[in-house]
């Protein structure tokens, strides 16, 4: 584990154990004697002892502790035992200490690297904890993960209530509650699934993502590769399996319609648990990503009965689609955390109406698990794309916990034109903000019949007509109003809905761009390539200078790009203007706008705005980042940042640094003359500068 953590490579744990070892000291067992009360076993034990000789021999060897006493009756000297240590190491608490050590180290490993456990035989007690501390678990369908064996539980409970270990920790329990991410029907199956899992993960933490080669539309399709720039043919539909949109599906007559991901690349985990949320890994044009999608169908949660609690029964709870429950919020956060240590970019196909806020779910700590989502995204260090697909919606609290402002450096949000987002659903807004009074006002403004009635009423009132006439008209108005009310409420809902459009999201800058579902694959593939390349460059800068923040390094990179673009533009402008001059010299061009000072400032600003705009252009940035001189200049920038940092430290420790320099020069020079020369150079430089 230490090696894995040092290298940052994944750690695989093949779990098979029956808990901590137990034992008794056999060398004492075969010599022990008992002092019964009144020498009568029926009266119970007084104490346990060894003969004086045995006691002295064994205590000298460190096997026992105790003291000599004289027997009341016989006066015989006996070695009364107070502690049995045992000659064999590994009988009791020392095993727990060892277990604590591996528990601590597994916990650290899970924080730092990819940890996967395969439960290929039963895993008991601390073994079960090691499995969970490593989080990612593949469980053989025939083997349990448990704390206490069923027979030990029965003996504690004093009844034969449990009949097998599988009842306590088989896949029916552990796969359904998300302890096991996957199940395997055989060892070879487990190996295959592990390898498939690892195929998405970099060789070591913060290493390069294992990208598969992609083919562009212009080059022929070879092998299994799936063009990144093709359209997504399966559209999300409420009531259909969301996996179809991800993986594609076979349609009668039409053949295979491809989905969002590369064909056959989706690798789902945790599917036994909280299945209102679908999580897994997949490839997008060869890029490994973590993926979270939402089930629109009603799912069910099955809670097993506990044989030890006679009141308990198996429950089958219906779960509405598009809603976060305590377990599905937990699953979402768990998946994000898993993806994080796997260094995967994350795509969230967001479609949530909100969190379930009923009494039971509030009691079941939905707030805690919902908060986990924010905490998990806060720590993410790869690009996160939150995308609201067509027909999907994202409301209130559900929006808040995935909003990019949680982690600005890494998160971005997008929406399909047919998606919706807002605080409440339009029906809810209308109830509060477009009440009956407002609706009636709108009717009177728009409905021709009501307008006629109103005119007539005015007439009647001003002509001092009879009360009966007025009241009859008022009744007609009332009737027309109540006739129209449902239709106008519908209208109000439609109006409120216009406030929840991607157009408004873009205008309010809460999403970066509106992206059509059909084009989403091509768009996000390019976007991810750009973001990964950009973050890679930023990572290099930060590696050179650890005290630089992510935001500082990002902006340094952007400035380098903008400066480059600006220089290029100015060169071009110069070329144009010199060409114009030469043309002018030939008398061929109309007079040019005079290059006055203010014009120049305008130009400057225009260029800055343009380069800002160009920084948003993924193609351009990707091309720029691929240039070999950019890499060199990034390295130079890194060196400069190091220098800044060292300078910072020098400022606070000038004396130390001078000393260190002296030693340093002395050490690196070896030869005294070289040392003198180096210092002379420094000396001269100073004198020269002061002239």
Of positions 268, 403, 519, 536, contacts a copy of itself by CB under 8 A: 403
Nearer to a copy of itself, 192 or 549 (CB): 549
Selected from 263, 504, 558, 569, the binder of a copy of itself by CB under 8 A is 504
Our CB check for a copy of itself shows the closer of 167 and 214 to be 167
Asked if 69 touches a copy of itself (CB under 8 A), the answer is no
Part of the chain binding a copy of itself (CB under 8 A), chosen from 6-14, 421-429, 577-585, 622-630: 421-429
Nearer to a copy of itself, 91 or 233 (CB): 91
Write down the least CB distance from residue 330 to a copy of itself, Å.
Answer: 8
Binds a copy of itself by CB under 8 A, chosen from 56, 77, 364, 519: 364
Q: Tell me the two tokens of residue 276.
A: 């209102």
Binding mask 377-396 for a copy of itself (x = CB under 8 A): xx-----------------x
Contact status, residue 488 vs residue 439, Cβ threshold 8 Å: yes
Q: What is the spatial distance between Cα 531 and Cα 553, in angstroms, rounded to a whole number?
A: 14
Do 9 and 203 touch, CB atoms closer than 8 A? yes
Stretch that binds a copy of itself, among 75-83, 289-297, 515-523, 584-592 (CB under 8 A): 75-83
Under the criterion CB under 8 A, does residue 70 sit at the interface with a copy of itself? no
3-class DSSP assignment, residue 291: strand
Binding to a copy of itself by residue 478, rule CB under 8 A?
Answer: no
Coil, helix or strand for 451?
helix
Within positions 427 to 456, which residues make up the interface with a copy of itself, using CB under 8 A? 428-429, 431-434, 438, 442, 445-447
Under rule CB under 8 A, residue 679 binds a copy of itself? yes
> Which spans in 139-274 are helix H?
150-157, 166-169, 171-174, 187-198, 242-247
Q: Minimum distance between the CB of residue 54 and a copy of itself, rounded to whole angstroms?
A: 13
Q: How far is the CB of 340 from a copy of itself (least distance, A)?
A: 14
What would the 3-class secondary structure string for 9-23 be?
CCEEEEEEECCCCCC
Residues 6 or more apart whose Cβ sits within 8 Å of residue 384: 345, 346, 347, 348, 377, 404, 407, 410, 411, 412
Least distance from C-beta 467 to a copy of itself, angstroms?
31
Least distance from C-beta 483 to a copy of itself, angstroms?
8
Segment 164-223, which members bind a copy of itself (CB under 8 A)? 167-169, 173-174, 176-179
97 binds a copy of itself (CB under 8 A): yes
The secondary structure of residue 219, as a DSSP letter, is: S
Q: Can you tell me the distance from the alpha carbon of 353 to that of 616, in angstroms, rounded to the nearest whole number?
A: 31
Q: How far is the CB of 19 from a copy of itself (least distance, A)?
A: 7
CB of 503 to a copy of itself, least distance (A): 3
Q: Within positions 482 to 501, which residues make up the interface with a copy of itself, using CB under 8 A?
A: 484, 487-488, 490-491, 494-496, 498-501
Minimum CB–partner distance for residue 584 and a copy of itself (Å):
40
Q: Is 77 exposed, middle or buried (CB count within 10 Å of its CB: 0-12, 13-18, 19+)?
A: middle
How far apart CA 263 and CA 313 sit, in angstroms, is: 42
Should residue 518 be labelled a site residue for a copy of itself when binding is judged by CB under 8 A? no
Ranges within 328-347 binding a copy of itself (CB under 8 A): none
By CB under 8 A, residue 133 contacts a copy of itself: yes
Site residues (CB under 8 A) for a copy of itself, limited to 284-313: 303-309, 311-312
Is residue 545 within 8 Å of 644, Cβ to Cβ? yes
Q: Does 609 participate in binding a copy of itself (rule CB under 8 A)? A: no
Query: Rounded to whole angstroms, how far apart are CA atoms 296 and 42?
Result: 70
- With contacts defined by CB under 8 A, name the span among 196-204, 245-253, 256-264, 403-411 that binds a copy of itself: 403-411
Q: Burial letters for 556-574: b for 16+ Cβ neighbours within 10 Å, e otherwise?
A: bbbebbbebbbeebeeeee
Asked if 677 is part of the footprint of a copy of itself (rule: CB under 8 A), the reply reads no
Q: Is 647 in the site for a copy of itself (CB under 8 A)?
A: yes
Q: Is 84 within 8 Å of 32 (Cβ atoms)? A: no
Q: Does 114 bind a copy of itself (CB under 8 A)?
A: no
Burial 16-26 (b: 16+ CB within 10 A, else e): ebebbeeeebe
**Using an 8 Å Cβ cutoff, are 10 and 115 in contact?**
yes
DSSP state of 425: -
Pair of tokens at residue 417: 């034109």
To 10 degrees, the CA torsion angle through 487, 489, 491, 496? -170
Choices 130-138, 193-201, 275-283, 343-351; region in contact with a copy of itself by CB under 8 A: 130-138
Q: Which of 4, 15, 25, 287 binds a copy of itself (CB under 8 A)?
A: 25
Binding-site member from 404, 542, 607, 621 for a copy of itself (CB under 8 A): 404
> Rounded distance, CA 392 to CA 369, Å?
23
Rounded CA gap, 554 and 542, in Å? 9
674 binds a copy of itself (CB under 8 A): no
Name the nearest CA neighbour of 285 among 215, 343, 223.
215
d(CA 572, CA 684): 43
Among 50, 145, 293, 538, the residue binding a copy of itself under the rule CB under 8 A is 145
Q: Please report, for residues 40, 62, 91, the alpha-carbon distance to residue 24 in angstroms, rounded to integers and kept in the order given.
A: 25, 15, 6
Considering beta carbons, is residue 608 or 674 the nearer one to a copy of itself?
Answer: 674
Residue 147 makes contact with a copy of itself by CB under 8 A = yes
Minimal distance, residue 180 CB to a copy of itself, in Å:
10
Q: What binding mask, one character per residue, do residues 539-568 give for a copy of itself by CB under 8 A, x or -? A: ------------------------------
**Strand 287-294 with 64-70, pairing:** unpaired
When the beta carbons of 377 and 607 are compared against a copy of itself, the nearer one is 377
Residue bearing tokens 């939150």: 386
65 contacts a copy of itself (rule: CB under 8 A) = yes
Near a copy of itself by CB under 8 A: residue from 79, 118, 129, 453 = 129
What minimum distance in Å lies between the beta carbon of 133 and a copy of itself? 5
Cα dist. 437→108, 389, 485, 489 in Å?
62, 36, 10, 11
Q: Can residue 119 be called a binding residue for a copy of itself (CB under 8 A)?
A: no
The single-letter DSSP state of residue 269 is: E
Give yes or no for a contact between 5 and 111, defined as CB atoms under 8 angstroms apart.
no
Only segment of 127-135, 254-262, 461-469, 532-540 that touches a copy of itself (CB under 8 A): 127-135
Binding string to a copy of itself for residues 29 to 58, with x set by CB under 8 A, is what?
xx-xxx-x----xx-xx--x----------
The residue assigned the tokens 């973050």 is 535
């Amino acid at each position: 584990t230490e090696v894995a953590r040092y290298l940052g490579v994944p750690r695989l744990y093949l779990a098979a154990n029956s808990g901590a070892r137990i034992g008794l000291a056999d060398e004492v067992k075969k010599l022990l004697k008992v002092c019964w009360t009144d020498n009568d076993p029926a009266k119970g034990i007084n104490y346990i002892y060894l003969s004086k000789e045995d006691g002295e021999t064994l205590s000298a060897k460190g096997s026992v502790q105790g003291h000599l006493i004289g027997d009341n009756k016989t006066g015989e000297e006996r070695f009364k035992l107070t502690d049995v240590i045992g000659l064999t190491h590994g009988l009791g608490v020392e095993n727990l200490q060892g277990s604590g050590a591996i528990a601590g180290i597994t916990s650290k490993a899970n924080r730092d690297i990819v940890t996967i456990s395969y439960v290929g035989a039963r895993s008991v007690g601390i073994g079960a904890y090691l499995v969970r501390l490593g989080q990612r678990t593949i469980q053989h369908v025939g083997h349990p993960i448990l704390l206490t064996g069923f027979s030990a539980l029965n003996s504690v409970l004093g009844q034969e209530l449990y009949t097998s270990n599988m009842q306590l920790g088989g896949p029916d329990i552990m796969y359904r509650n998300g302890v096991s991410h996957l199940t395997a029907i055989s060892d070879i199956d487990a190996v295959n699934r592990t390898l498939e899992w690892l195929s998405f993960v970099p060789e070591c933490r913060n290493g390069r993502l294992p990208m598969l080669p992609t083919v562009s539309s212009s080059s022929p399709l070879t092998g299994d590769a799936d063009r990144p720039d093709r359209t997504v043919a399966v559209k999300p539909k409420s009531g259909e399996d969301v996996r179809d949109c991800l993986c594609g599906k076979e349609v009668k007559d039409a053949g295979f319609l491809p989905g969002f991901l590369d064909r056959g690349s989706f690798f789902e985990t945790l599917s036994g648990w909280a299945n209102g949320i679908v999580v897994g890994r997949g490839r997008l044009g060869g890029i490994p990503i973590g993926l979270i999608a939402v089930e629109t169908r009603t799912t069910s949660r099955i809670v097993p009965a506990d044989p030890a609690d006679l009141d308990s029964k198996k429950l089958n709870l219906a779960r509405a689609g598009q809603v976060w429950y305590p377990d599905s919020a937990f699953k979402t956060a768990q998946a994000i955390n898993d993806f994080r240590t796997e260094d995967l970019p994350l795509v969230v196909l967001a479609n949530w109406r909100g969190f379930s806020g009923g009494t039971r779910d509030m009691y079941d700590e939905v707030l805690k698990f919902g908060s986990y989502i924010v905490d998990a995204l806060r720590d993410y260090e790869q690009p996160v794309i939150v995308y609201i697909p067509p027909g999907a919606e994202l409301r209130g609290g559900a929006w808040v916990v995935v909003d990019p402002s949680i982690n600005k450096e890494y998160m971005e949000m997008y929406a399909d034109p047919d998606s919706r987002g807002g605080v409440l659903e339009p029906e809810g807004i209308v109830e509060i903000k477009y009440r009956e009074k407002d609706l009636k006002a709108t009717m009177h403004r728009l409905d021709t019949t009501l307008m006629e009635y109103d005119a007539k009423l005015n007439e009647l009132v001003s002509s001092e007509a009879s009360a009966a006439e007025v009241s009859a008209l008022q009744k007609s108005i009332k009737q027309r109003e109540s006739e129209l009310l449902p239709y106008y409420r519908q209208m109000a809902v439609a109006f409120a809905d216009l406030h929840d459009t991607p157009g408004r999201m873009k205008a309010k800058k809460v999403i970066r761009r509106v992206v059509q579902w059909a084009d989403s694959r091509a768009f996000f593939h390019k976007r991810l390539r750009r973001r990964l390349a950009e973050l890679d460059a930023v990572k290099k800068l930060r590696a050179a200078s650890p005290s630089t923040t992510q935001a500082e390094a990002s902006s340094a990179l952007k400035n380098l790009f903008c400066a480059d673009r600006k220089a290029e533009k100015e060169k071009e402008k110069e070329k144009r203007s010199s060409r114009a001059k030469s043309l002018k010299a030939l008398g061929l061009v109309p007079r040019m706008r005079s290059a006055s000072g203010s014009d120049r400032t305008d130009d400057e600003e225009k260029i800055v705005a343009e380069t800002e705009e160009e920084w948003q252009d993924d193609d351009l940035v990707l091309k720029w980042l691929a240039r070999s001189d950019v890499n060199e200049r990034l390295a130079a920038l890194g060196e400069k940042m190091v220098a800044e940092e060292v300078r910072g430290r020098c400022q606070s420790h000038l004396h130390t640094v001078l000393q260190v320099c002296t030693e340093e020069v002395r050490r690196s020079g070896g030869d005294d003359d070289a040392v003198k020369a180096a210092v002379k150079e420094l000396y001269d430089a100073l004198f020269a500068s002061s002239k």
